[in-house]
Structure 1
Amino acid sequence: MTPDTLERARRIRLLVLDVDGVLTDGGLYYGAGGESLQRFHVHDGAGIKAVMAAGIAVAVISARRTPAVTARMKELGVETVVQGEENKLEAVTEIAERMDIGLDAVACVGDDTTDVPMMRRAGLAIAVADARGPAVEAAHYRTSARGGYGAVREACDMLLLAG
């Protein structure tokens, strides 16, 4: 981690996470009845709980809407969950304003082009290891772990170490 990234991480009060490709591996799984299933990594959940315990707020924003996200975030105690929102920058801005947090104190974790606008405005932009080009270019930091395989835990650990 560079000194600039460490300094950015020290200012973070809100961690915003994309879902598909960040909290999950990006695969779309469907049950026999057509229901959408998603796989979450337990290490990511532990990281989320740890940053919340340290006083960093967590929000999740997804362009898709699935019951699995609602259930997992409820289990983790994440109260700010925005689903079905393609304009993630607008959602991040509204969440930060509601929490009275400047965008310079927001970290955004993303993996694809839909995440780039929020990443460009965030105080700390993090791309997962398997992120697509534009998200990588917008990032201040890139995890060594892939989305759905501990990338969120890595981002959380970085924030805790910087704290």
Structure 2
Amino acid sequence: MNLTELQARARRIKLLLTDCDGVLTDNGVYYSERGEEMKRFSIRDGMGVERLRAVGVDTGIMTGETSGSVQRRADKLRITELHLGIKDKPARLHEIMARTGLTAEEIAFIGDDTNDVEILKLVGLAACPGDATRFARAVADFHCETAGGHGCFREVAEFIIASR
């Protein structure tokens, strides 16, 4: 897909959804004897959420994990479209579209692995981090230069903003 077509798709986006692990985080997690303790998030990605909000684009997180760290990050960024423990991402996408009235063409998704492939095929703009698996890269329209957890969400956000 050429740049002009990517920009046209990006102009239609009203909601940017993202996976968490491998996109908002670097795929790492810290464990102690008590279990999961911490995940690392990029502050730059948080600024991407704010910048999108300023131009009228909503954001959301959809992840197969159920993590208190992700809940706290979403709370801090005032992300209300938070979907934890989602095993069937395409079904949840359809629920979001029915509830919000958005079409698939108005939604972007950033995913990095095999569990994101089906939803990446459905949205108007499919993106992946620079270090995504070959499975996600094969179906994504936009390939970030930036790796997961190091600002790839911000890279997609800035592309959407610049395309307007």
Q: Which residue of 2 aligns with 1:31?
A: 32
CA distance in 2, matches of 1:138, 1:11: 19
CA distance in 1, matches of 2:33, 2:41: 20
Matched-pair contact (CA < 8 Å) for 2:130–2:148: yes
Q: Which runs of structure 1 show a deviation greater than 3 angstroms over 4 or more consecutive aligned residues?
A: none
Q: Which residue of 2 aligns with 1:99?
A: 100
Report the identity percentage: 33
CA distance in 2, matches of 1:6, 1:80: 24
Alpha-carbon shift at residue 33 of structure 1 (Å): 2.1
Q: Which residue of 2 aligns with 1:74?
A: 75
CA distance in 2, matches of 1:128, 1:5: 16
CA distance in 2, matches of 1:144, 1:29: 25
Matched, 1:21 2:22: yes
| TM-score normalized with structure 1 length | 0.96
SS at 2:132's partner residue? coil
Matched-pair contact (CA < 8 Å) for 1:16–1:92: no
Alpha-carbon shift at residue 141 of structure 1 (Å): 0.7
Q: 126-135 or 89-98: which moved more?
A: 89-98
Q: RMSD in angstroms over aligned alpha carbons? A: 1.1
Number of aligned residues: 163
Q: List gaps (5 residues or longer) in structure 1.
A: none
Q: List gaps (5 residues or longer) in structure 2.
A: none
CA distance in 1, matches of 2:42, 2:32: 19
| TM-score normalized with structure 2 length | 0.96
